[in-house]
Amino acid sequence: MITEIKQHKYEYSILFLYTILSVVMFLGYQQNWQRFIVIILYSGFYFSWSLIHHLINKNLTLIVLLEYLLITILALVSLKVIFFPNL
């Protein structure tokens, strides 16, 4: 992990910074719709970051893409349970 971070320090710095910003915004906002937007934006960021990271490193394959896609879908299912449990 440390080696990986050292090798791609700028990419991981962006990931860390946006994650911290999202946590601060999430805890700062109290309305569910605001929190929902924070997580949706993070989902978009996570997916884009992954694509860009693997494109830069020239190792983006369908298998890798599918892994991020599945985690994003899992997150969206989670958001449904968290924010819209009655729908």
Partner 1 sequence: MLGKLKKTLNHLFVPQESNNFRGQYLHHDFLTTVIAVMLIVNVGLKLLVKNYDSNILGVAFNITAEELLNATNAERLKYDLPPLQSNDLLMQAASAKANDVFTKNYWAHYAPDGTSPWFFFQQAGYQYVFAGENLAKDFTDSQSVVNAWMNSPTHRDNILKADYQDIGFAIMEGTLQDQPTVLVVQLFGRQEGAVLAEEKPMARYQEPVPAKTVKVAKASPKPVVKTQTAVKKQPLINILSLQKELLLVVLAGLIIVLSLDLYFVEKKKLFRLSGKSLAHLMFTLLLILSIITTSSGVIL
Question: 57-69 burial, b for 16+ CB within 10 Å, e for fewer?
Answer: eeebeeeeeeebe
Asked whether position 86 contacts partner 1 by CB under 8 A, the answer is yes
In the bound complex, what is the minimum distance in angstroms from residue 10's beta carbon to partner 1? 14
In the bound complex, what is the minimum distance in angstroms from residue 74's beta carbon to partner 1? 6
In the bound complex, what is the minimum distance in angstroms from residue 55's beta carbon to partner 1? 13
Asked whether position 6 contacts partner 1 by CB under 8 A, the answer is no
